[in-house]
Amino acid sequence: MYRHLILICLLSLFHTSCTSQKEKSATTTLSEPSLKAMIGQMVMIGFRGMEIDSVSPKIITQIEKGLVGGIILFDYDLVKKSRRRNIESPAQVKKLIADLQQKSKTPLWVAVDQEGGKVNRLKAKYGFPRIASAKYLGQLDNLDSTKYHALLNAHNLQQVGFNLNFAPVVDLDLNPKNPVIGKYERSYSDQSATVIKHAQAWIRIHDSLGVLSTLKHFPGHGSSDADSHEGFTDISAYWQAEELQPFKVLSQREPQIGIMTAHVFNRQLDSIFPATLSKKVIHTILRDNWNFQGLIFSDDLQMKAVNKLYDFKTIVKNSILAGVDVLVFGNNLEYQETLPEEVVNLVYQLVSDGEIRKERIQDSYNRIIKAKADLKK
């Protein structure tokens, strides 16, 4: 009788333990994101619409399905050649962003190119404050002035709902005739110490207000004589190792930042691929040599410097293998409403076929989720 009671107790404990393990396993499975959900966090997309009702239902559906991890807003539609894109006034932008955030289960990155000066999506004519250019602030070389404009900019971004700014530019102003950096007064200086000093002040103020800053354009675009928006941009003959210095110093002093890659081709660093598609440039330098653990964003993957040379699969696959965490599609050089779903399905297939390891996707997903969580602290 005593043995029988012990056996019953042991069986009961075993059943309880098994049930507990099954419940724990089920909970773990339910809490783990699917592969497609992880890939979705790596996709940033541009879109059309001034208010939620004018945004394409296809875009909304992809956000709701978790196929989009971030959005980027523009004030001008390059395809339509129209000022009616996403930005009309502070109140309108705030409402649009809040409504889109409501559609996503995971908080979205809401990004903008708000550098100041000529690269200024939130313009004074729309009711936003005027922000000085980097060149002006670098020439003035007064940190109080830089901090003033950085605070004005960061507060403005925070108030309307942006949490990611694709700035500051830390390219060195080595070529005044550079058609994309020098021409638009986007660089603080041709001296790395000056660039580092002003960019660091900018970064810290934005960070204090919950806006992630992004250094661009790695590994340096300031010496080029061509615009990577327009086509193949070879900087091999012009690029100097000193151009890496602002990225290196700031990535170590301010590890919470993001870094945006450039589509420039630099034979000194990789004789085959432009930087965004190059593991030698991105992973080797940023991850291996500098131990940078922050987010790496691609420049717009629809730009002609990569888009004219490589097919869609190669661009996406090589960017991820190179080390890019967030694939940025401005959707403004060409427009495609189903792009997020196409990207997610392509990457899912690449993982299924063994061309990209699942662990590589998990790494980017973990960094993205951590960065989003850190913004709220």
pLDDT at 8: 36
Residue 147 in this model has a pLDDT that exceeds 90:
yes
Query: For the whole model, what pTM was predicted?
Result: 0.90
pLDDT at 226: 63
Q: What is the pLDDT of residues 252-282, one digit of tens each?
A: 999 999 999 999 999 999 999 999 999 999 9
pLDDT at 197: 98
Phi/psi at 97 (nearest 5 deg)? -65, -45
pLDDT at 11: 34
Cα atoms in the Cβ-side hemisphere of radius 13 Å centred on 74: 20
The closest of 83, 161, 156 to 116, measured between CA atoms, is 156
Query: What's the average model confidence in pLDDT over 164-171?
Result: 98
242 close to 191: Cβ distance less than 8 angstroms: no
pLDDT at 213: 98
Catalytic residues: 229, 299
Residue 100 C-alpha from the chain's centroid: 18
Tokens of 202: 């900018």
